Structure 1
Amino acid sequence: MNIVHVGGGAVHPAVTSREAILAVSRESIMKKGWTALNIRSVAAACGISVGSVYNYFGSKSGLVAATVESIWGDIFRLPEQGEGFEDFLSCIRWIYGRIGWGNQTYPGFFALHAMRFWGEDKAEAKRLMARTWQHMQERLKAVLEGDRQVRPDAFDETFTRDQFVELVFSMILAALLRESDGQAAALEVIRRAIY
């Protein structure tokens, strides 16, 4: 492992993996905002050459897109104690709690990150975002299917579990984009619809 001396005499190990570069990128956004995220500053913070960053990310847009996906993963990483939730409502409470944490940890992320993708790699950014959102919806479906408190007649062929999850996910996305809570209303809609 290489050791790098950073201003002020601090000693940090040189970063040599994709995951470590993404961790440095997330930290840069937390501390300095989106404008601080560029290949040169990330390379310097990692203690590696600019070319080394390009070995993992083909362009600045690629680094930004991967960082955004990484931030989504950081915000919505499941608790270490296990992936199970007591019921669907507890999962939704957890998601809204993570939205609050994400707004504090990555100010402006939810409202502003999409604007970063208006450049050359917009298609890749959309693909990564769609993958992240698909994973979140799949987890919501799994939690809903495991919730034994759901009324037996809550779903049928005209109102399916998949449609319900899409609706709930739309409410979550609206709260993200507005950077508003909306939790109480969402929980009440869910409670009335399926319990």
Structure 2
Amino acid sequence: MNNVQFKEACINTAATSKEEILEACKAIVSEKGLAALNMRAVAKRCNIALGSVYNYFYSKDALIMAAVESVWHSIFGTASKYKPGISFTEYMEAVFKKIKKGTVKYPDFFTAHSMNFTGNSKEEARKKMYGYFSSVKREMLCILQADTAVKKNLFSKDFSEEDFTDLVLTNFIGLLILQKQSCAVLIAGIRKIIYP
């Protein structure tokens, strides 16, 4: 048996699940960054044939898209874990810490992921990212509306709660993209605006 035959014989021929492939993708993104993610790297990491990866993902963009979504899911989780009665500013600080923790596990993810796509895939990746932030925005709005310490009659037709959460979220995303380590200035500004 020559070296090539031996290598091929050692490849894991057992069916690897899509979940296992995505776990390998997340490990690669965590260790080497999103730019290092490709079909061959994943096949090698899973110890499977390259064709096995193509069974689940028809292209590199499809693989990266699924990996990006899996990383976002890993960072945000599925359900809110915030205590009832949390103030709006406490919530924003908690979300920032949660996402910053994710950026430690997946360095440069916020700034790099949308650059690894072409054409329609880039737009789809952006939609996935904003989908996760939209769920944060919905939760932000609910928590803002439930925060009894907010100034009475603060919001109006020209300055609605929805407009305010949009403004806060835009600044919040900006801090993450700029890789700021703290959201203290944003929180201080929010306090001055919404609390007496």
Moved more, 113-122 or 93-102: 113-122
1:134 counterpart letter in structure 2:
S
Q: Aligned to 2:77, what secondary structure does the other structure show?
A: coil
For residues 127 and 171 of structure 2, what CA distance do their matches in structure 1 show? 21
Give 1:73's aligned residue: 73
Residue pair 2:115, 2:122 contacting (<8 A) in 1 also: no
Q: Whole-Å Cα distance in 2 between the matches of residues 129 and 103 of structure 1?
A: 14
Equivalences for residues 41-190 of structure 1 within 5 A: 41-77=41-77, 82-84=81-83, 86-118=86-118, 121-190=121-190
Q: TM-score, normalised by structure 2?
A: 0.80
State the shift of 1:37 in Å.
Answer: 0.9
Give the whole-Å Cα distance in 2 for the aligned partners of 1:157 and 1:105.
41
**Structure 1 partner of 2:9:** none
Contact 1:140 1:165 in 2 (8 A): yes
- Number of paired residues? 182
Letter aligned with residue 19 of structure 1: E
Deviations 1:71-90 (A, max 9, x none): 2222223688x344512111
Displacement of 1:49 after TM fit?
3.5
Change (3 A) 1:182 1:146: same
Q: Is the 8 A contact 1:93 1:183 kept in 2?
A: yes
Contact 2:87–2:143, Cα closer than 8 Å, also in 1 = yes
Mapped contact 1:15–1:47 kept (Cα < 8 A): no
Which amino acid is 1:95 matched to?
V
Q: Percent identity?
A: 34
Alpha-carbon distance, 1:59 to partner: 1.1
Paired with 2:40 and 2:69, the residues of 1 have a C-alpha distance of: 20
Q: In the superposition, relative to structure 1, how do residues 20 and 137 fare at CA in structure 2: closer, same or farther (>3 Å)?
A: farther
Q: Which moved more, 1:136-145 or 1:69-78?
A: 69-78
Aligned to 1:5: none
The 2-side partners of 1:45 and 1:17 are apart by 13
TM-score when scaled to structure 1?
0.81
1:140/1:20 CA distance change after superposition, 3 Å: farther
Deviates more, 1:136-145 or 1:168-177: 136-145
Structure 1's consecutive aligned runs of 4 or more residues displaced over 4 angstroms after TM superposition are none
Larger Rg: 2
Q: Which runs of 5+ in 1 are unaligned?
A: 1-11
